[in-house]
A and B are shown apart, each in its own frame.
Chain A
Amino acid sequence: MDGKQAGKLIKILINQKQIDCEEGKTILEVCREAGIFIPTLCFDPRLEPYGGCRLCLVEVKGINRPLSSCTTPIQDGMEITTESENLTELRRTMLSLILSNHPNDCLRCEKAGDCSLQELAFIYDAAPARYEGERWDLPKREDNPFITFDPNKCILCGRCVNICKNVMLKGAIDMTGRGFHAKPDTAFGKPLSPENCLFCGQCVSTCPTGALVEKPSARTGRHLSVKKVKTTCSYCGTGCSFFLNVKHGKVTKVTSDYDSPVNKGNLCIKGRFGYEFIHHEDRIKTPLIKEGGKFREATWDEALDLIASRFGAIKEKYGPDAVGAFSSSRCTNEENYLVSKWVRTVLGSNNVDNCARV
């Protein structure tokens, strides 16, 4: 982007490979850009790094304890190791601890296949600690139409609270309780409602586990079984990009496109939850022709023939100035172009306009 000033270029060594990078970035950022994998749970590029999960640890030469890469800025000449026996062991231990207070019920979880915890447990071959302690057994919260919260799956990464407070400036939820009983919740445990929540689903979009999931799409298809089609929101002029999740020829869910330059995975209630209309029973399914004041179903051929002949006849009788079209800000560029072309070439006038110009 042409707005940012590029930082000074410096050289660092990552896993013995020299990398040129811009000053001011964190170790994690540089590694992500260079395609070097570092596991994370509490990191989301939309948020200020929080440094809570300690999964992103790396070793830096000359420093005798591992550093969290998401919060540590690079320095000229740094020598960084992203994976070692010691680091792997540390990560496995931390994951085991999390799994010890987790339902580990991936078979039935909405998030399976797209869950950071599941993926990292697999990569690091982590199992719940052998001496299992107390586990949460808290009720699932389904008190609003959009978001389901299963506190038992929460790993306390803080991302939902952070995104709601610092990206949305809403603060609908916060960490409540202490120690073993800490969890994100609304003030006084009230249900999410228009009083306190935007239903933007940002919290869902950042949750690394199945703790926060979209309610309307429950049990309709998981990550690996759906086709994901990248597209652009059809509501407002922001033009957010997202993925339509499709299963059995139906749109089942909208998921974030974290790489979009426009919205970086963020969406609003309309983009994230406003897709039900696509398969609504009220959709007009066939052409309709009005006869005796009532519409009757018609075939495409019949309707298009009628349109062609009626427009032809009116133009013949009253001239091209008596016919025209309103085009639509809802339709595609290509369609708008064709409407304009049709009116000018076929109807023979310039009577073509956007309906409301707003």
Chain B
Amino acid sequence: MAGLATSLGAGAASNSFDQISEADALLIFGSNTTEGHPVISIHVNKAIKNGARIIVADPRKIELVKWADVWLNLKPGSNIALLNGLVHVILKEGLYNRDFIEKRTEGFEDLKDAVEKYTPAHVHELTGVSPEKLVEAARIYAGAKNAMILYGLGVTEHQTGTENAMAVANLALVCGHIGRPATGIMALRGQNNVQGASDMGPAPAAFTGYQPVTDPKVREKFEKAWGVKLPSKPGLKSVEMLDEAKKGTFKGLFILGEDPAHTDPDISHIRQALASVEFLVVQDIFHTETTRFAHVVLPGASFAEKEGTFTNGERRVQRIRKAVEPVSGKAEWEVFCEIASRMGYQMKYNHPSEIMDEIASLAPIYGGISYARLDQGSIQWPCPTKDHPGTATLYQEMFSRPGGRARFIALEHKGSGEVPDADYPFVLITGRRREHYNNGSMTRRSKGIMEMFPEELLELSPADAAKLGIKHGEMVKVSSRRGEIKVKVRVFERSQEGNVFLAFHHQDVLTNLLTSPHRDPITGTPEYKSCAVRIEKL
């Protein structure tokens, strides 16, 4: 989310889900909303019913293409070229919002120069999208009264993920499609509490509420609240901790409820790193690929077994409530209090509501949030004070950057870290399926779901299937420079020629043995969406 934060101020969705159905045009970019966020897609359906124009930008022929006015079938990794191309057309055709650009943004001249060479013909070469479609999409988006962008991990899970998000912001800003209801940019996140987990500041350079650790004033505030001196040097990102572990310089790691040995790219590297940690604690509700490496495993409590809050993809803070007792007797928040106290730092709360009170006292965006209020209804941050109603639409008056203006960022097409070649001629795109979730440890334990959706299948285009002489249901070996897996094939027109698709929910098809080691240098987000593979009939 660093991209949106740089351009606009906040690393979060600018608007609310229920505004989607009120937009006149939707640009759905790198998000298979129907499967990834089924209930958000109900809002999209409503927009379709209301007659909104729909633009889908995705290398796969996802279900939404059926309802789209234009499908921009770009090559994986060519997001920036496509977005620059859209801006190019909008500027050339005079469809931009001069007034908005003047009053609310900076850096427009840089952008203008940068997109100059992204003519429809050039963009066609880079992305494979036809000039006609590019122009039509630009006209639809720019011409709408209220246009909204929904983007998914197809934007962020690239080595240029941060820049891709900035390119999205550029597009919204040239048209002034932001800062009003039913406009803006909705970044659709993968896991349930990604937003909250970012807000809470388990981050190497920021405390709770995006407050930098390098700022002495901020540190002072936290030092006073927490009663200890705090380090001013930013810490290591998760990838860096693992890299250091492999080198032998990082020794003790606590992993809470994550499964990097399954869901991270380039698993072999992760496995070596985890094996090198001197003392590894993993807390989870089920055994995973990662718990195998642990020295101590702690049982986690499921969402049904504890009190707390999650923050959804529209910045809405909502309660979760304890329905049954934790199987292991303890919730994670209690465990952390006990560990801290055993290490000589008193951490004691009678109830998670007291933790929220502390969060509210330290993070201004959560300032007015309390369990008493949340019991009356959920609240969207920023909510700075007890009587503030919360915020459905960001940036109505100002962007949350110094000076209050949004910033255009000049960007160049770079492409993916790994592109197909003679040895590895296919692009593997990875993603999610509607019926499963992440490492699958939860959904694979539902009998009904497993009965209906028992196995992972490699999606291969009919043309490629014919070329390789592979039939529906046959087993193939998929290999990349990092590893290989065996999987059954589904011949499916959803894939375009040259691209194949796999999800990563199943333990017997460890898709991430294949995925690319390339990462976004700014956020460390892996390039899950594109790597080169070879497919061989077994």
Contact = CB atoms under 8 A, between A and B. Distances in A.
Contacts of A216: 447-448
A329 interface: yes
A285 interface: yes
A146 B453 CA distance: 13
B205 interface: yes
Contact of B202 (A166, A233, A280, A327): A327
Contact of B446 (A193, A273, A323): A273
A193 B437 contact: no
B466 interface: no
B256 A240 contact: no
Contacts of A193: 452
A327 to B, nearest CB: 3
A350 B234 contact: yes
B220 interface: no
A351 B286 contact: no
A278 B39 contact: no
A345 B226 contact: yes
Contacts of B338: 300, 304
A354 B238 contact: yes
Given A3-B22, A194-B452, A238-B39, A326 B445 contact: no
B494 interface: no
A232 B316 CA distance: 11
A237 B297 CA distance: 27
Given A237-B37, A239-B318, A268-B434, A288 B296 contact: yes
Contacts of A314: 251-252, 278-279
B235 to A, nearest CB: 3
A326 B254 contact: yes
Contact of A358 (B156, B203, B310): B156
A202 to B, nearest CB: 8
B238 A268 contact: no
In this complex, the member of B254, B333, B352, B435 whose beta carbon has the largest number of chain A beta carbons within 10 angstroms is: B254
A184 interface: no
Interface in B454-471: none
Nearest to B258: A355
Given A169-B67, A236-B37, A337 B192 contact: no
Contacts of B295: 289-290, 310
B251 A229 contact: no
Interface stretch (B119-127, B299-307, B407-415): B299-307
Contact of A333 (B200, B205, B278, B322): B200
A1 to B, nearest CB: 6
Given A285-B327, A329-B191, A238 B45 contact: no
A331 B305 CA distance: 12
Contact of A300 (B46, B329, B344): B329
A323 B253 CA distance: 6
B319 interface: yes
A284 B285 contact: yes
Nearest to A269: B435
Contacts of A235: 192, 437, 442
Contacts of B235: 324, 343, 349-353
A354 B447 CA distance: 31
B163 to A, nearest CB: 15
In this complex, the member of A241, A285, A304, A330 whose beta carbon has the largest number of chain B beta carbons within 10 angstroms is: A330
B287 to A, nearest CB: 7
A303 B37 CA distance: 38
Interface stretch (B97-105, B420-428, B473-481, B522-530): B522-530
Interface in A308-329: 308, 310-312, 314-315, 318, 320-329
B263 A3 contact: no
B24 interface: no
A358 B200 contact: no
Nearest to A324: B241
Contacts of A306: 296
A180 interface: no
A234 B449 contact: no
Contacts of A200: 38
Contact of B332 (A215, A277, A320, A335): A335
A324 B310 contact: no
A353 B264 CA distance: 14
B202 A145 contact: no
A105 interface: no
A156 to B, nearest CB: 24
Nearest to B156: A358
A332 interface: yes
B224 interface: no
A189 interface: no
A353 B237 contact: yes
Given A236-B190, A345-B340, A351-B236, A282 B445 contact: yes
A11 interface: no
Interface string B21-64: 01000000000000011111010011011000000000000000
In this complex, the member of B40, B306, B392 whose beta carbon has the largest number of chain A beta carbons within 10 angstroms is: B40
A79 to B, nearest CB: 33
A287 interface: yes
A273 B108 CA distance: 49
A343 to B, nearest CB: 8
A320 B291 CA distance: 24
Contact of A304 (B38, B204, B342): B342
B339 A339 contact: no
Contacts of A349: 231, 235
Contacts of A334: 308-309, 333, 352, 355-356, 359
A307 B253 CA distance: 10
Contacts of A139: none
Contact of B193 (A262, A320, A331, A353): A331
A346 interface: yes
Contact of B328 (A199, A278, A286, A337): A286
Contacts of B238: 326, 353-357
Interface in A222-251: 227, 229-241, 244, 246, 249-251
A2 B181 CA distance: 7
Contacts of B434: 198, 268-270
B525 A2 contact: no
A300 B523 CA distance: 36
B452 A356 contact: no
Contact of B321 (A3, A230, A238, A320): A230
A1 B43 CA distance: 15
Given A168-B42, A237-B188, A246 B193 contact: no
B249 interface: yes
A308 B190 contact: no
Contacts of B332: 331-332, 335
Contacts of B190: 236-237, 329, 358
Given A261-B18, A349-B231, A287 B299 contact: yes
B200 A340 contact: yes
Interface in B249-290: 249-258, 260, 263-264, 278-279, 281, 284-287
B304 A278 contact: yes
In this complex, the member of A275, A280, A329, A331 whose beta carbon has the largest number of chain B beta carbons within 10 angstroms is: A331
Contact of B448 (A146, A168, A285, A338): A146
B445 A332 contact: no
Interface in B39-97: 39-40, 42, 45-46, 48-49, 67
4 smallest CB-CB distances across A and B, nearest first, come from A239-B312, A332-B308, A350-B235, A145-B448
Interface of A: 1-4, 144-146, 166-169, 193-194, 198-200, 215-216, 227, 229-241, 244, 246, 249-251, 261-263, 266-271, 273-278, 280, 282-290, 295, 298, 300, 303-308, 310-312, 314-315, 318, 320-346, 348-358
Given A229-B322, A353-B241, 9 more contacts: A237-B312, A266-B39, A270-B435, A271-B39, A333-B308, A335-B332, A351-B236, A355-B263, A358-B189
10 contacts: A3-B393, A4-B22, A244-B323, A249-B325, A278-B304, A332-B320, A343-B235, A350-B213, A353-B204, A355-B238
